[in-house]
Amino acid sequence: MSWSQMWIAYITIVYKEVTRFTRIWQQTLLPPVVTTSLYFVIFGSLIGPRIGTMEGYRYMDFIVPGLILMSVITSSYANVSSSFFGAKFQRSIEELQISPTPNSVILLGYVTGGMARGLLVGLVVTLVALFFSQLSIHNVFVMFSISLLTALLFSMGGFLNGLFARKFDDVSIVPNFILTPLTYLGGVFYSIRLLPDFWQGVSHLNPILYMINGFRYGFLGISDIHLGFSYLIILAFTAVLFMINLKLLNKGYGIRS
Amino acid sequence: MTVALSIQNLEKEYDNGVRALKGISLEVEKGDFFALLGKNGAGKSTAIGIICSLVNKTAGSVKILDHDIDIDFPLARSMLGVVPQEINLSVFETPLQIVVNQAGYYGIDRKLAQTRAEKYLTQLGLWDKRNDTTRQLSGGMKRRLMIARSLMHEPKLLILDEPTAGVDIEIRRSMWDFISEINNSGTTIILTTHYLEEAENLCRNIAIIDQGLVVENTSTRELLAKSQREIYVLDLVDSIDSLPTFERGRWTLTSPSSLEVDISKQQGINGVFRELNAKQIKVQSMRNKTNRLEQLFLDMTTDDEKESA
Ligand SMILES: Nc1ncnc2c1ncn2[C@@H]1O[C@H](COP(=O)(O)OP(=O)(O)OP(=O)(O)O)[C@@H](O)[C@H]1O
Ligand SMILES: [Mg+2]
């Protein structure tokens, strides 16, 4: 395949993915918006004023970046894992398998689709957040790049999940038992400096901490972590997941008998 | 370069230990209309799966128009179109989306894809359904949609795994015409089917696979020439009480008004009528008991009951 043919194949996959999640927007775009709005109302407006400030910011303003990123993470992940698993389940993935499209393009196409949903949800949640808080942006570049890279990383993660999944339940295990806890413990709702030393140390093993803090830096200009570390961790995990996914695809894991 | 498909010593052992292919070799000429026959579980779909990279082979090699599927896979794949036995359509997408996207996976730009989509969906009688979700299509329509999808990149070799299974007789006939036309325009066709008359009418060459081995690989004409005997069923005008002694052929009286005769090809129908005239038996109608190919097929493949005994 020439580069231009690969580009067409890539765009086709992305287009198909975007068509899929916009067609079922009630399942893909609406729920995260509803959930985060509830967070805004409960933690921001009702409980927030009683907490006072966190790191010198109104509690609501402190948690908004984490909540936005949380919606990016869950949406990107869910999009790729469920779409890829669905294609496997219906065997329509064979359309791609028999085609000359290289596996790397298949992977990037699905991942871009996941990023599109993650970022779109993130954008809508941000707009909703504007009703509840005074969002200021400290560094646009950091804000954009961290959200983009986080969406990339979790789309890669979702792809891996899709490859391994054998039944529909397998698609929800990781989000429920790993992603959600890690996100909650990754400092969405608090600064880890509130924790005892030991738990601060443990928190540093949580990769999501680095993303949330990096993203929060983009808005507020504060972070528990050095910004460089945030980028390094995200890029390292992304690279590893990319390699694993590609290797499994090349082996035909879960899709070739 | 006159070979469209070349398979050498292909073997497949599935993870569960089933040896679906035990070393098959086949060559299909360019432009051929080729039938791959065999009983359920013989290994036809496994072979096709390997050719189109959906199944990992255990050993052997496959070349599509001289391009090895392992070494030269983008080229090999772009020349191959496949209609699988099992429906593998995304039921939430529309026929139009499915075929246009499929073209995209071969690097065909969207404008050309739209043109071809209209052409092939129309030819297969699905243009009116193009914006329905695929879930709403009937089984036969889904099968035709898979044919349209396989043609979007205009492959040089088209493999159809039981394309006419579960399709009504009228549409089956129109599919035959359609596939023949594609073949006439130069595309090599490989077809599996359990309707042997379909293979007999359409295909120039035939291979029979039995238990993972090729047991026959020849032209349809030669294969049919191998059948030395034919069995006819005769309905009589007047009932007869007992079987007269005929000079040639093996005769049985299956009911007072019908006879069966097993006679060598040399004697033929004339021989049958000579015998009947001599005994002054009048015949109302006559037909072949089985399709000739069917009889040969049964002779060549393993009898399941014999095997398990
Ligand atoms: N994914 C699989 N895993 C394990 N065994 C398999 C698998 N697919 C097929 N088989 C086995 O391989 C053998 C050949 O199957 P295959 O589907 O190739 O037969 P076929 O000739 O296409 O039959 P049919 O006419 O019924 O479609 C069978 O014994 C079947 O049970
Ligand atoms: Mg089969």
Q: What's the pLDDT tens digit per position in B196-220?
A: 888 888 999 999 999 999 998 988 8
Q: What is the pLDDT of residue B241?
A: 86
DSSP 8-state class, residue B190: E
What share of chain A in percent tops pLDDT 90?
A: 63
Mean of all residue pLDDT scores within chain B: 90
Looking at the 3D structure of chain A, how many domains does it have?
1
DSSP 8-state class, residue B188: E
A250 CB neighbours in chain B (<8 A) are none
For residue B309, pLDDT over 60 is answered with: no
Q: Please tell me the distance from the alpha carbon of residue B66 to that of residue B300, in angstroms, as a whole number.
A: 31
For residue B308, pLDDT over 70 is answered with: no
In a domain, A62, yes or no: yes
In a domain, A168, yes or no: yes
Q: What is the pLDDT of residue B1?
A: 55
B291 burial (CB, 10 Å; 0-12 / 13-18 / 19+) is: middle
Average pLDDT over residues B133-155: 95
* Cross-chain CB nearest to A8 (options B74, B92, B108): B108
What share of chain B in percent tops pLDDT 90?
A: 63
Task: List CB contacts of B21: < 8 A, sequence separation 6 or more.
Answer: B10, B11, B12, B43, B46, B47, B50, B58, B212
- Classified by CATH at the fold level, domain B229-289 comes out as Alpha-Beta Plaits (3.30.70)
Mean of all residue pLDDT scores within chain A: 92
DSSP 8-state class, residue B134: G
* Cross-chain CB nearest to B105 (options A2, A12, A257): A12
Amino acid (one-letter) located at B4: A
Ligand 2 center from residue B54 Cα (angstroms) = 13
* Size (chain A), residues: 257
Minimal-distance CA residue to ligand 1 atom 9? B46
Question: Which among A64-68, A93-97, A219-223, B167-171 has the top mean pLDDT?
Answer: A93-97
**Domain membership of residue A198 as a residue range:** 3-251
pLDDT 10s digits, B14-42: 999 999 999 999 999 999 999 999 999 99
B136 burial (CB, 10 Å; 0-12 / 13-18 / 19+) is: exposed
In a domain, A256, yes or no: no
Ligand 1 pocket, residue B133 CB under 6 Å: no
* Cross-chain CB nearest to A5 (options B73, B80, B107): B107
For residue B290, pLDDT over 80 is answered with: no
For residue A126, pLDDT over 60 is answered with: yes
Q: What is the pLDDT of residue B307?
A: 47
Q: What is the pLDDT of residue B80?
A: 97
Q: What is the pLDDT of residue A112?
A: 98
What distances in angstroms separate CA B83 from CA B4, B155, B229, one per listed residue? 17, 12, 36
For residue A40, pLDDT over 90 is answered with: no
SS3 A148: helix
pLDDT band at A14 (very low <50, low <70, confident <90, very high): very high
What distances in angstroms separate CA B133 from CA B119, B176, B208, B254, one per listed residue? 19, 26, 38, 53
Ligand 1 center from residue A208 Cα (angstroms) = 45
Atom of ligand 1 nearest to the CA of B42: 21
Residue B145 and residue B101 in contact, taking contact as beta carbons nearer than 8 Å: no
For residue A195, pLDDT over 80 is answered with: yes
Is any Cβ of chain B less than 8 angstroms from the Cβ of A22?
no
Q: What is the pLDDT of residue B304?
A: 62
Residue of A8, A11, A248 to mutate, interface with B, max B Cβ within 10 Å: A8
Is any Cβ of chain A less than 8 angstroms from the Cβ of B14?
yes
- Please, what is the Cα angle at B40 between B38 and B45, to 5 degrees? 75
pLDDT band at B305 (very low <50, low <70, confident <90, very high): low
Q: What is the pLDDT of residue B301?
A: 80
Average pLDDT over residues B161-179: 89
* Cross-chain CB nearest to A256 (options B56, B82, B107): B56
Is any Cβ of chain A less than 8 angstroms from the Cβ of B166?
no
A101 CB neighbours in chain B (<8 A) are 105-107
Q: What is the pLDDT of residue A26?
A: 93
DSSP 8-state class, residue A87: H
Give backbone dihedrals phi and psi of A208, rounded to 5 degrees, phi first.
-70, -25
Q: Please tell me the distance from the alpha carbon of residue B137 to that of residue B126, in angstroms, as a whole number.
A: 10
CATH architecture group of domain B3-224:
3-Layer(aba) Sandwich (3.40)
Q: Please tell me the distance from the alpha carbon of residue B119 to that of residue B111, in angstroms, as a whole number.
A: 13
Residues 64-103 on B with a CB inside 8 Å of A are 73-75, 77-78, 80, 82, 84, 86-93, 97-98, 101-102
Ligand 1 pocket, residue B54 CB under 6 Å: no
In a domain, A100, yes or no: yes
Average pLDDT over residues A210-224: 91
pLDDT 10s digits, A166-190: 998 898 888 888 888 898 898 888 8
Q: Please tell me the distance from the alpha carbon of residue A6 to that of residue A129, in angstroms, as a whole number.
A: 39
Q: Write down the domain spans for chain B.
A: 3-224, 229-289
A95 CB neighbours in chain B (<8 A) are 88, 98, 101-102, 105, 149
Q: Please tell me the distance from the alpha carbon of residue B206 to that of residue B216, in angstroms, as a whole number.
A: 8
Q: Please tell me the distance from the alpha carbon of residue B98 to that of residue B94, in angstroms, as a whole number.
A: 6
For residue A222, pLDDT over 80 is answered with: yes
Residue A224 and residue A77 in contact, taking contact as beta carbons nearer than 8 Å: no
Closest-approach residue (CA) in chain B for A251: B56
**CB-side exposure of A202: number of CA atoms within 13 Å?**
7
pLDDT 10s digits, B244-262: 888 888 898 988 889 988 8
pLDDT band at A7 (very low <50, low <70, confident <90, very high): very high
Closest-approach residue (CA) in chain A for B73: A100
In a domain, A257, yes or no: no
Own/partner long-range contacts of B115-123 (Cβ < 8 Å, ≥24 apart): B116/B151, B116/B152, B116/B154, B117/B148, B117/B152, B120/B147, B120/B148, B120/B151, B120/B152, B121/B95, B121/B96, B121/B145, B121/B148, B123/B148, B123/B178
In a domain, A57, yes or no: yes
Do B49 and A8 count as a contact with CB atoms less than 8 A apart? no
Q: What is the pLDDT of residue B302?
A: 75
Q: Please tell me the distance from the alpha carbon of residue A179 to that of residue A182, in angstroms, as a whole number.
A: 5
